[in-house]
Chain A
Amino acid sequence: MSTTELLKGAAELFPDEVVTSAHVRHLDLPFGAGRFALITLDNGLDHTKPTTFGPASLANLNLAVDQVEKEAAAGEITGVGITGKPFIFAVGADLKGVELLKEHKDALAIGKGGHEVFKRLSALAVPTFAYYNGAAMGGGVEVGLHCTYRTVSASLPAFSLPEVFLGLVPGWGGCTLLPNLIGAEKAVSVIIENSLNQNKQLKGAQVYELGIADALFEGADFLEQSLLWTAAVLKGEIVVDRPAVDRGEAWDQAVAKGRFVADSKVHGAAPAAYRALDIIAAAKNGDLQQGYDAEDQALADLIMGGELRAGIYAFNLVQKRGKRPAGAPDKSLARPVTKVGVVGAGLMASQLALLFLRRLEVPVVLTDIDQERVDKGVGYVHAEIDKLLGKGRINQDKANRLKALVTGVLDKAEGFSDADFVIEAVFEEIGVKQQVFAEVEAVAPAHAILATNTSSLSVSEMASKLKHPERVVGFHFFNPVAILPLLEIVRGEATDDASLATAFAVAKKLKKTAVLVKDAPAFVVNRILTRFMGEIQNVIDEGTPVAVAEKAVEPLGLPMSPLVLLELVGPAIGLHVSETLNRAFPDRFTVSPNLAAVVAAGKRGFYVYDSGKPELDPEVAALLKQGDVVLTEEQVRARVLDAVAQEIGLMLDEGVVAEAQDVDLCLITGAGWPFHLGGITPYLDREGVSQRVNGKPFLAPGVASVPA
């Protein structure tokens, strides 16, 4: 099948593609270097809608290459360049088109189509030049890799091969060409490490330093300088000398290192990184076509696999739903927040004070029961500001401004009389919290939001004794506050729309991913994690060895094992939350006597790390009283997943969140659960757990899976 037919067929499957044009324009190069054809990739929209490649876009590029190929063969041009619209080069394949693909052969066609078009750029009768003028990702990077030469703008903000992050491989030449250009070690760092490191982006200078681009020019006259450089290259005045690629042992070591990185991040649970590494390993022999064929197969397999579909679903949740929270009231109802009060000056309160200070840049007042605590809280914030100053994240003026904005007082009346938003982070005890809110209500303005960072208490109950319970909202952060994006915003029974809208507006300014949740025990993340951990604890208590229980959930590829997570949270807090949930739902949530014993013994975790690896602490082992029911890993896994599926099903029935999507968004942004699980419900669906437990999947086919 010809490339044209191949792309025509693919385009029919994707009628809503935002089509990128490939404009061919001719120009006379300086220094008499001849007539030159410059291709501009442009989807006709502004820079907020980056240029992408779908089948019709590829067909346009193919037509452009038809034209320049003829001109090159006829000797009418001395070279061909390719660049992007202002601020954007191209950001790769249009994922919307990938989501629509239902059949392996169609997925294969997308891979082949890209290859067939792009590789023509390396087979013209004249040299080709890519000018990475702006953001370049995925297929955008790859189209440039097929060119003879590349320049990059020092202003380029983002350059990556993010395929593995999503669940794909760089499959339009990336896996094959990049290691052949810059060596396997650097290629692995770009394709595997950066992708798995929260999709880290390269800047222009790094693209040059890695050897991906042959020249680096400042943004102000990037294209002019690139074309002058091109003229000099074509006239032989500049000779591009790239270091030879080490095709010896270093190549194998780089691939091995990539596998180690993949194991540490996804624990073998998602195939993309491994497929990419296989292709990189094979690319050692320099056989490009063999590499392209392998890329086509890998792409098609992955596109038809659940991990990628879950990955795209997760990506869209974070990028779209995370920015437009479901169920949030109209933002026009939000009241301005020009001063923030924080009740408590402990570590959590101080961290919250710092976050509000940095993001809102308004006065923040801390209060506590004695001057020493207040001073300590303010001191913590000042020390953190100094750290930011030391790292160059803020300048001296900003540090001065922030420090001047944070104060601490003992008298709530003095501190909160003009505050618009007061958040409490005091001891998790309902009576204490009610007392605190009563005191704040007595002195704060009538419009002030009273927010609680409770992780397990009822927001409605906390508000119940107030004159104005309608302004109480739950504002549940996740530790570490500065790193985890999730903020569960809890609507109490009495909470009004204006207060809720204000809470969402504040969350947006805090740059948090806000999810609206009902005032239900432990809200979303803690409830699911506690049920999950509870089942692990149950099987251990009943007699399954700790190691078996831990290993049982490894195939999920979670960021850490259950007991390591427990250690991070703190066994005492874990126990406290399980007690809360046990009171609410005694039939499903148990309080583990072994965990209680570990907490009572003052242990901070189950493991010791003397050997460098986690090993069960002998003192903990001595505390454990286990039954005699020993399960296999499969049995443990089924039991844990069944419990999670059941709990989420019940939560959706209760209306804790609007949809399963919110559960997944919470788990991704609050617990770091991986993209390849799509949070968790896509995984539960594709493994048949949802059907088994609830009699139906959480998500309709096609939402996070191959469409029917």
Chain B
Amino acid sequence: MPRTVRDVVFVDGVRTPFGKAGPKGIYHETRADDLVVKAIRELLRRNPGLDPKKIDEVAIAATTQIGDQGLTLGRTAGILAGLPQSVPGYSIDRMCAGALTAVTTAAGSVAFGAYDAVIAGGVEHMGRHPMGEGVDPNPRFVSDKLVDESALFMGMTAENLHDRYPTITKLRADEYAVRSQEKAAKAYANGKIQQDLVPISVRNTNAEVGETGWGLVTADEPMRPGTTLENLAGLKTPFRVHGRVTAGNAAGLNDGATASIIASEEFARENGLPVRMRLVSYAFAGVEPEVMGYGPIPATEKALAKASLSIEDINLFEINEAFAVQVLAFLEHYGIADDDARVNQYGGAIAYGHPLASSGVRLMTQLARQFEEQPEVRYGLTTMCVGFGMGATVIWENPHHKDAGGDK
């Protein structure tokens, strides 16, 4: 049977405000599954043209798939969100690139013709599920020297990346972090972020944390507007004595969820759904686990090659800021300035937070908004590093561009 590969589009994306993990965080008494369920429900409310019965899959990512992030979250979240029982679902895991992989996996199935429309997203409640919860690494990793001992500690891998790029100093990383906070504050002031946030009701029964009872979260908790270089200079470098990585130039430990609609372009147009981004290519690549943050570089090279594009063709970048050094390494590799205006226009994870498996869709949602505002930009990319030495990149076309859909 002859098949035609179909165009895949990003219809819409939403997320919960992100919270700080831990007993004082806004989501300390909120279940992880409820976060992603509420994101899915908001997505459906915003897109009444999408008949829930026509959703072919719910792909939800989480890194630690136990407890309220277990039980085949894609399926259970679908039922909890009120989707028809006929809509199936599954869980997915590629650590930090979980939601991104949910999108690409779903997109592959859409392109193949197996699905018309999919909910793809992710959740990570790092307060309820701290990084490394329940892991049991095979002792051969160390005995056979398969990976360096630092590979399992993300902060250490970031220090290793600084070693690889000796010109990326702590100062440069801090400067980058300050700009991220500034850009995020500006994006908030201009209402760029709030439009895609799902308000979440939260309960607090601990008077030591703050007012008790039910509240409503409508904004990201981790942001530190007004952060200065001076503030950052004195922070500890917990991963290495005299190191460069601090809590200020890295994303924190966070709670949050995202969800998006991925569909075939034909389905989206037939059902009156918005076409915010068109998928061009995607790629994943592996690198030495102990320099995990290097991953986006080869992943992007692969994705560009598949799309027959070069880095010069990309005019908007959404790079996940797990660590400032990882963004700076990417920019240095591609010869892009640290403060290039095309990069993370709304700021990034250093300001908003990085609830591991949920972050990929945040990047996409923000890129989609930037595409709307900048129709002169034809291509953009979303990229992130992934634990155990991987990188993930998705290249998108701006459907608002005059040449969109045509040949390059």
Question: Is the Cβ of B201 less than 8 Å from the Cβ of A25?
Answer: no
Among B80, B82, B212, which residue has its beta carbon within 8 angstroms of that of A23?
B212
Chain A contacts for B204, CB-based, 8 A? 25
Per the bound structure, the CA–CA distance linking A223 and B200 in Å amounts to: 9
The docked-state distance in angstroms from the alpha carbon of A30 to that of B219 is 10
Contact A220–B38 (Cβ < 8 Å): yes
User: Do residues A24 and B216 form an inter-chain contact, with CB atoms below 8 A?
Assistant: no
B204 and chain A: residue at smallest CB distance: A25
In the complex, identify which listed stretch (A36-44, A107-115, A138-146) lies at the interface while the others stay far away.
A36-44
Question: Given A224-B199, A224-B200, is A40 in contact with B212 using a C-beta cutoff of 8 Å?
Answer: yes
Measured between alpha carbons, how far is A24 from B38 in the docked complex, in Å? 24
Is A86 part of the contact surface with B, judged by Cβ < 8 Å?
yes
Q: Report chain A residues within 8 Å CB of B214.
A: 25, 38, 40, 83, 223
List B residues 48-92 near A (Cβ within 8 Å): 80-82
Pairwise interchain contact A28-B218, C-beta atoms closer than 8 A: yes
Task: Please determine whether B81 and A220 come into contact, CB atoms closer than 8 angstroms.
Answer: yes
Q: A227 an interface residue at 8 Å Cβ cutoff? A: yes
List which A8-64 residues lie within 8 A (CB) of chain B: 21, 23-30, 38-40, 42, 44
Q: Cβ of A221 < 8 Å from any Cβ of B?
A: yes
Q: List A contacts of B219 (CB < 8 A).
A: 28
Note all chain B residues with C-beta closer than 8 A to A30.
199, 216, 218
Q: Which residues of chain B are near A23, meaning CB under 8 Å?
A: 211-213
Q: Write out, one digit per residue, whether chain B residues 215-226 have a CB within 8 A of any chain A CB (1) or not (0).
A: 110110000000
Q: Is the CB of B199 within 8 A of A220?
A: no
Chain A nearest CB, measured from B9 CB (Å)? 27
A20 to B283, CA, bound (A): 56
Quick check: is B41 within 8 A (CB to CB) of the other chain?
yes
Question: A223 near B211 (CB under 8 angstroms)?
Answer: no
Map CB proximity to A onto B107-126 as digits: 1 under 8 Å, 0 otherwise.
00000000000000000000
Given contacts A30-B218, A220-B82, contact A228 B199 (CB under 8 A): yes
One digit per residue, 1 when the CB lies within 8 angstroms of any chain B CB and 0 when it does not, for chain A 207-227 equals 000000000001011011001
Q: A30-B218, A220-B37, A220-B80 are in contact. Are A25 and B199 (CB under 8 A)?
A: no
B239, chain A: closest CB distance, angstroms:
36
Instruction: Name the contact of B213 in the complex, choosing from A24, A224, A228 (C-beta under 8 A).
Output: A24
Nearest CB of chain A from residue B16's CB, rounded to whole Å: 10
Q: Which residues from B are CB-within-8-Å of A86?
A: 203
Q: Which residue of A lies closest to B217 (CB)?
A: A27
Is the contact region of chain B dominated by helix, strand, or loop, or is it mixed? mixed
Q: In whole Å, how far is B206's beta carbon from the nearest beta carbon of chain A? A: 11
Question: Are A224 and B212 touching (Cβ within 8 A)?
Answer: no
> A228 to B81, alpha carbons, bound, how many Å?
18
Given contacts A220-B37, A220-B41, A224-B38, contact A27 B80 (CB under 8 A): no
A282 to B37, CA, bound (A): 48
> Contact at A224–B201, with CB atoms within 8 Å?
yes
Q: A30-B199, A224-B199 are known contacts. Are A39 and B216 too (CB-CB below 8 A)?
A: no
Docked-complex contact A25 and B211, CB < 8 angstroms = yes
Q: Are A221 and B38 in contact (CB under 8 A)?
A: yes
Neighbouring B residues of A85 by C-beta, 8 Å: 203
Distance between Cα atoms of A493 and B389 in the complex (Å): 78
Within 8 Å CB of A39, what residues of B?
Answer: 213
Measured between beta carbons, the chain B residues less than 8 angstroms from A24 are 211, 213
Closest chain A residue, CB of each to CB of B29: A86
How close is A247's CB to chain B, nearest CB, in angstroms? Answer: 37
Contact B213 A25, beta carbon cutoff 8 Å: yes
Docked complex Cα distance between A38 and B41 (Å) = 23
Interfacial chain A residues near B200, Cβ < 8 Å:
224
What separation, in Å, do the CA atoms of A220 and B200 have in the docked complex? 11
Using Cβ atoms and an 8 Å threshold, which residues of chain B touch A224? 38, 198-201, 216
Task: Give the CA-CA distance A594 to B80 in the complex, in Å.
Answer: 66
Chain B residues contacting A28 (CB-CB under 8 Å) are 216, 218-219
**In the assembly, what is the distance between CA of A692 and CA of B240, in Å?**
92
User: Chain A contacts of B205 at CB under 8 A?
Assistant: 42, 44
Instruction: Name the residue of chain A whose CB is nearest to the CB of B40.
Output: A220
Min Cβ gap B320→A in Å is 27
Bound CA–CA A451/B392 (angstroms): 70
Are A218 and B82 also in contact (CB < 8 A) when A224-B200, A227-B199 are? Answer: yes
Is B216 within 8 A of A29, CB to CB? yes
Indicate if the CB atoms of B199 and A26 lie closer than 8 Å.
Answer: no
Residue on A nearest B38 in the bound complex, by CB: A221
Q: Are A25 and B212 in contact (CB under 8 A)?
A: yes
CA A315 – CA B325 in complex, angstroms? 69
Chain A residue nearest to B214 (CB atoms) is A40
In the complex, chain A residues whose CB is within 8 Å of the CB of B81: 220
Q: Mark B189-203, 1 if CB is under 8 A from A, else 0.
A: 000000000111101
The closest CB in chain B to the CB of A218 belongs to B82
Contacts of B82 in A (CB 8 A): 218, 220
Is the Cβ of A227 less than 8 Å from the Cβ of B213? no
A38 partner, pick from B38, B80, B213, beta carbons under 8 A: B213
User: Looking at the complex, which one of B199, B213, B218 makes contact with A40 (CB distance below 8 Å)?
Assistant: B213
Q: How far is the CB of B215 from chain A (nearest CB, A)?
A: 5
Which chain B residues border A40 with CB–CB below 8 Å?
Answer: 203, 212-214
> Which of B80, B203, B216 has the most chain A CB atoms inside 10 A of its CB?
B216
Please measure, in the bound complex, the distance between the C-alpha atom of A25 and the C-alpha atom of B217, giving whole angstroms: 12
Closest to A86 in B: B203
CA distance A40 to B216 in the complex (A): 13
- When distances are taken between beta carbons in the complex, the residues of chain B under 8 Å from A25 are 204, 211-215
- CA–CA, A224 and B203, complex, Å: 12
Q: Which residues of A contact B201 (CB under 8 A)?
A: 221, 223-224, 227
- A26 to B216 CA separation, bound complex (whole angstroms): 9
Chain B positions 248-274 with a Cβ under 8 Å from a chain A Cβ: none
| Cα separation A524 to B203 with both chains bound (whole Å) | 51
Contacts of B218 in A (CB 8 A): 27-28, 30
Q: What's the nearest-Cβ distance from chain A to residue B75, in Å?
A: 16
- In the complex formed, the residue of B with least CB distance to A38 is B214
* Residue among A25, A26, A83, A228 with max Cβ neighbours from chain B (10 Å): A25
Which residue on chain A has the smallest CB distance to residue B199? Answer: A224
Interface string of A195-206 (1 = CB under 8 A from B): 000000000000
Bound Cα distance A404, B265 (Å): 50
How far does the Cβ of B36 sit from chain A's closest Cβ, in whole Å? 11
Residues of B within 8 A of A44 (CB): 205
Q: Which B1-43 residues have C-beta < 8 A from chain A?
A: 37-38, 41-42
- Expressed in whole angstroms, the Cα–Cα distance for A221 and B38 within the complex equals 6
Residue of B nearest to A28 (CB): B218
Which residues of B sit under 8 angstroms from A218, Cβ to Cβ?
A: 82
Residues of A within 8 A of B42 (CB): 221
Query: With the chains together, A588 CA to B179 CA distance in Å?
Result: 98
Residues in chain A near residue B213, CB distance under 8 A:
23-25, 38-40, 42
CA–CA, A40 to B37, complex, Å?
23
CA distance A29 to B81 in the complex (A): 23
Q: Could you say which of A21, A27, A42, A221 contacts B215, with CB atoms under 8 Å apart? A: A27
Measured in the bound complex, the distance between the Cα atoms of B214 and A224 in whole Å is 10
Q: How far is the CA of A86 from the CA of B80 in the complex (A)?
A: 16
How far, in whole Å, are A40 and B82 apart by their CA atoms in the complex? Answer: 26
Closest partner residue, chain A, to B197 (CB atom): A30
For window 209-246 of B, CB contacts with A under 8 Å fall at: 211-216, 218-219
- Could you list which residues of chain A lie within 8 angstroms of chain B, going by C-beta atoms? 21, 23-30, 38-40, 42, 44, 83, 85-86, 218, 220-221, 223-224, 227-228
Known: A29-B216, A40-B214. 16 other contacts (CB 8 A): A21-B212, A24-B211, A25-B204, A25-B212, A25-B213, A27-B215, A38-B213, A38-B215, A38-B216, A42-B212, A83-B214, A220-B81, A221-B41, A223-B201, A224-B38, A224-B201
Query: Can you name 29 A-B residue pairings with CB atoms under 8 Å?
Result: A23-B211, A23-B212, A24-B213, A25-B204, A25-B211, A25-B214, A25-B215, A26-B215, A27-B215, A27-B216, A28-B216, A28-B218, A28-B219, A29-B216, A38-B216, A39-B213, A40-B203, A40-B212, A42-B205, A42-B212, A86-B203, A218-B82, A220-B81, A221-B201, A223-B214, A224-B199, A224-B200, A224-B201, A227-B216
Those 10 A-B pairs whose CB atoms lie nearest each other, nearest first: A23-B213, A40-B213, A223-B201, A25-B211, A25-B213, A23-B212, A27-B216, A27-B215, A25-B215, A40-B214
